[in-house]
Amino acid sequence: MWKAILPAVIALVTLGLSLVSGEAVKRESEHKQVIALAQTTESAKAKVADPVTTATTPHGSGHPVALVIGNSAYPDAGLPLAQPVNNARTLAATLKDKGFDVELGENLTKQAMEDAFESFKSKIEPGSTALIFFSGFGVQAGRQTYMLPINAHIWNEADVRRTGVSLEPLLSEIDAKGAGAKVVILDASRRNPFERRFRSVSAGLAAIQAPDDTLIMYAAAPGKVVSDSEGELSPLTDELIGQIRTSGQSAEAVFKRTRLAVSNASHREQVPWVSSSLVEDFSFTAAPGKVQQSAR
């Protein structure tokens, strides 16, 4: 009798073990899925809850680059300007400390300025913050601002366009290369002798037509001029450097505080002008790694 029913008993026992084993495997799989889901959730919460990571994320993926030019010696304009070269040297050193790859130029002719722009553009990578600083004489003509090289000889508006260097084409080229934030600082709103030589040139500088994601600061509002002070550095550059060296500030905050400080110190005789189309802010924070400073 037992021999007759033994195969059936064995079959039932085997089936039961299979069901138990399958249920165990199912439960283990479900358990692993729950653990994986919990780990993913915790990781997501950690990223959201970590304000330091969010705050220190750099603007763009490329390294920050800067072109800093100070033109003081204008033979056609009389005595050399006292501050532009000092402005450029001091700002270049400050930006280098903050992780910028700096191209520094002093007393550049037009050809030297164009060479400096080409070298600067060659360093720009997709996402790079690209900063341009110019201190010297600037003139507006045809509603454009022109930075003047030291060998500029200007007697009419055509001379401005021929011998000056316009920022707008340069900004377009930088933007086309995929630069992230574009920053322009023009400490060139000083009164100059060229504007008195012909009536078609307006005083001060013109507003720059810049691409999106650009932050611009002038020493004075478009159409306004300021006189040089007696200090080693101009009021704008001096205050700007002090604000950049203060850690934890966004670039827009740096420019705003610079404007307020210069305005208050001059009793509103000089009010720097700021224009921004930044789509993502960034900070002047020190970046890891070694950078090089070029001099021309």
The per-residue pLDDT for range 40-67, each reduced to its tens digit, is: 444 444 433 333 333 333 445 679 999 9
The alpha-carbon radius of gyration of the chain (Å, integer) is: 31
Rounded mean pLDDT, 160-164: 92
Give dist(CA 239, CA 209) in Å, integer: 26
- Counting Cβ atoms within 10 Å, is residue 9 exposed (0-12), middle (13-18) or buried (19+)? exposed
pLDDT of residue 4: 54
- Give the tens place of pLDDT for each residue, 5-49: 555 544 544 544 444 444 544 455 444 444 444 444 444 444 333
Structure letter (DSSP) for residue 126: T
Please say whether the beta carbons of 62 and 126 come within 8 A.
Answer: yes
Query: Phi and psi of 138, rounded to 5°?
Result: -130, 145
pLDDT of residue 5: 53
pLDDT of residue 173: 96
Count of Cβ atoms closer than 10 Å to residue 197 Cβ: 12
Give dist(CA 137, CA 159) in Å, integer: 14
pLDDT at 136 over 60: yes
pLDDT at 250 over 70: yes
Per-residue confidence band for 192, with pLDDT thresholds at 50, 70 and 90: confident
Q: By C-alpha distance, which of 51, 49, 34, 66 is closest to 134? A: 66
In this structure, what is the dihedral angle of CA atoms 218, 219, 224, 227, given to the nearest 10 degrees? -160
Give dist(CA 48, CA 50) in Å, integer: 6
pLDDT of residue 155: 86
CA angle 87, 88, 91 (to 5 degrees): 80
- Counting Cβ atoms within 10 Å, is residue 87 exposed (0-12), middle (13-18) or buried (19+)? buried
Q: Which of these ranges, 90-94, 126-130, 196-200, 285-289, has the smallest mean pLDDT?
A: 285-289
Most distant CA atoms of the chain, gap in Å: 128
Q: Which residue has the higher pLDDT, 14 or 95?
A: 95
Q: Which residue has the higher pLDDT, 112 or 229?
A: 112
pLDDT of residue 228: 80
Segment holding 241, helix H or strand E: helix 235-244
pLDDT of residue 79: 82
Give dist(CA 76, CA 89) in Å, integer: 24
pLDDT of residue 40: 42
**For the whole model, what pTM was predicted?**
0.76
